[in-house]
Amino acid sequence: RRLQEMTVLRVLAHLGRPAQIVQFYMERYFYYPVERFSSWEEISSPGTTYAFWPEHQIWLQVQTAYHNRRRYTLLGVDLRPLIRKVTYNLAVMVSGYQSRIGQVYSPYPISSFPAEIQAFTDQVQQQILQQERLAVLVHGIPGTGKTAWTQAVAHELLVPLGYVVFILDHEAVQEFIAPPYLERVCLIINEADNLAQDRASEVAQQSTKTERILSLLDGTLHQSVLDPDYLDCRQRLVVLMTCNTTERLDPAVLRKGRVDLIQEFTHRFV
């Protein structure tokens, strides 16, 4: 909800002053003088406010709810170019208890990694350009730079292509669904061996996280129910996962079609 609200407000800031503002209250319409417009916070109405930008063919509806909280709704022929522009270089950290919205921070560039990791990164980059859905798994003992590599890939490869990055913890994976209004989404999931454990083990049988990861990787989770407003939106998805060992992973995770590229990190990086 925070991301959607922030995206709408960024689009409004980019659009600037509308050509027309109309307020509807008590079954009557009132025209607001647009030359007096400075910001949406200064326009107050107990009813509903409408605005229109003819050059972009975009309508705005602002409804006032309880405690003067506002609900902004955008309607346009094609909002995707504007959304892509205002969400550039955006990253979201989602956990079971909190969320943060900002930018991807990468303390180590890709060029600082060993030569074989740089060569693997070139493969990843090529597949990102060729595939709509890509899942990458990197594994190795702690301290080999797996998490730092995912941040570097997100910062150097995915953000320039317009991907919005989501960093999910184990609780967030349970409930996460990629926002359909975003054209390109990257998911970073760390310690996947503690998340998608072998379902033959007793620990995994007490959780549905393994099934959640499997449906996330093969796309069945999102393709089972489609929002009619986004039927023509082909969302590109890149999933970057790290784990200490693949031995505890459910074999179905490593099946062809779910994970496309796998690389072991062996050099001590940190």
In a domain, 19, yes or no: yes
Min mean pLDDT across 19-23, 35-39, 245-249 is at 245-249
Same domain for 111 and 219? yes
Q: Are residues 178 and 56 in the same domain?
A: no
pLDDT tens digit sequence for 114-157: 999 999 999 999 999 999 999 999 999 999 999 999 999 999 99
232 plus 138 within the same structural domain: yes
User: Do residue 131 and residue 205 come from a single domain?
Assistant: yes
Q: Are residues 56 and 185 in the same domain?
A: no
Q: What CATH number is associated with residue 155? A: 3.40.50.300
Please give the tally of structural domains in the chain. Answer: 2
pTM of the model: 0.84
Structural domain boundaries enclosing 136: 87-264
Whether 200 contacts 252, CB under 8 Å: no
pLDDT tens per residue across span 156-212: 999 999 999 999 887 787 778 889 899 999 999 988 877 655 545 554 444 556 677
Residue 94 is assigned to a structural domain of this protein: yes
Relative to beta strand 58-64, strand 261-264 is unpaired
Same domain for 166 and 51? no
Arithmetic mean of pLDDT, 48-64 = 93
Q: Choose one of 46, 78, 110: the last residue of a domain.
A: 78
- State the DSSP string of 6-19: HHHHHHHHHH-S-S
Residue 270 belongs to some domain of the structure:
no
Task: Locate all alpha helices (DSSP H) within the chain, ordered by sequence.
Answer: 2-15, 80-86, 115-130, 146-153, 170-175, 202-205, 209-218, 220-223
Q: Is residue 269 part of a domain?
A: no
